[in-house]
Amino acid sequence: MADREPMTTTGYQALKDELKDLKTVQRPKVSQEIETARAHGDLKENAEYHAAKEKQAFIEGRIKEVESRLALAEVIDPTTLKGDKVVFGATVTVEDIEGLAKTYQIVGLDEADFKKGKISFTAPIARALIGKSEGDIAEVRLPKQGKKELEIVKVAFV
């Protein structure tokens, strides 16, 4: 069996919502598109039919993928955690040498959105921060910026 994968309650709910949409909205819609295209006659040269079949294959593949992610999810509610150590689900405020502060929440792979400050637990910054406490310095190797030192200013669980 594959390893369980950590996911916040928010990320888990988002995947459940996506799965419901795929099954109750997208799947019936594409089935209708296939039926409509089929009614147009010759399927060999029917671009609408082939496009709808491709879309159907994509939707079915995504349903399988989402169901698998949900089955393997280890749901963690960050609001139930406490302490000053950085762990999965923590919201961490860091400061670099120039005094520039940034806040990140460490989340699961499906939830990561750098623009919103949500970084995957597998990201270089997250890996450098996990296990450290407020006041510690984390050394991060970033692809474009090289080595960077970040001081952990605050650890919160929201």
Mean pLDDT value across residues 85-102: 93
User: Is residue 14's pLDDT more than 90?
Assistant: yes
Helix 9-21, helix 47-72: angle, nearest 10 = 150
Name the architecture of domain 5-76. Answer: Orthogonal Bundle (1.10)
Positive or negative, the CA dihedral 80, 85, 86, 88 is: negative
Where does the pLDDT of residue 2 fall: very low under 50, low under 70, confident under 90, or very high at 90 and above? low
**Structure tokens given for 39:** 């009614």
The average confidence (pLDDT) of the chain is 92
Give residue 133's pLDDT.
95
Q: Are 23 and 63 in contact (CB under 8 A)?
A: yes
Has domain 78-156 been given CATH number 1.10.3720.10? no
Based on the number of CB atoms within 10 Å of its own CB, is 92 exposed (0-12), middle (13-18) or buried (19 or more)? buried
**Structure tokens given for 103:** 């806040």
User: Is residue 135's pLDDT more than 70?
Assistant: yes
Mean pLDDT value across residues 43-59: 88
